[in-house]
Amino acid sequence: MLLDISGVLCQGSKLTPGSEYAVAGVRRVGISVRILTNATRQLKRWIHEKLASFGTAAESGESLTPAATACAQFETHGYSPYLMFHPYLEKDFEGRAFDGPKAVVVGDAGPFNTYMRLKAAFYQIYQDAPFLAIAAHRVSGTATAN
């Protein structure tokens, strides 16, 4: 069973009433649970901490985030990521090998989406690096020169 965090398990910063009982009941009858989010600026650790504070802890391997999905792709295909998203999300990539062929990963970089980073990413793609987008970007300004 797939359960989205935003709007299903949580409403903003509050637990949806009864969701902790529903998750416990589903687990009790032996149905596998996967808790997912499409939030690209939240570390997997933060999501686990948020759910645990609500009494709905995600068990090991149950939570799916865009970064975790990208990491799984890298492990499967042996890619080394060229990361184009907010720097604090890089913590979800710690411990990953960075010595394979490059794959460009684009997420919500916000103000860190500079001209130089875009140019370097384009060069990797030009050199046949696979391209993986972990979020649909909203346009909220322009890239800054750096």
Same domain, 33 and 60: yes
Do 57 and 8 form a contact (C-beta atoms < 8 A)? Answer: no
Please indicate, yes or no, if residue 127 is contained in any of the structural domains. yes
| Residues 85, 54: Cα–Cα separation, whole Å | 28
Please indicate, yes or no, if residue 37 is contained in any of the structural domains. yes
| Residues 63, 46: Cα–Cα separation, whole Å | 11
pLDDT at 45: 79
Same domain, 72 and 36: no
Phi, psi of 134 (to 5 degrees): -100, 5
Please indicate, yes or no, if residue 142 is contained in any of the structural domains. no
| Residues 111, 32: Cα–Cα separation, whole Å | 38
CATH of the domain at 93: 3.40.50.1000
Same domain, 128 and 76: yes
Q: For each of the chain's 146 residues, which pLDDT tens digit applies?
A: 888 888 788 887 788 888 888 888 888 999 988 888 877 777 777 777 777 777 776 776 787 888 888 888 888 888 888 888 877 777 777 776 667 788 888 887 778 888 898 899 999 999 999 988 886 545 444 443 43
pLDDT at 124: 92
Q: Sign (positive/negative) of CA torsion 47, 51, 56, 57?
A: positive
Record the pTM: 0.67
Q: Which range of residues forms the domain containing residue 34?
A: 2-64
Same domain, 121 and 102: yes
Helix residue spans in 29-137 (DSSP H): 44-53, 66-77, 115-126
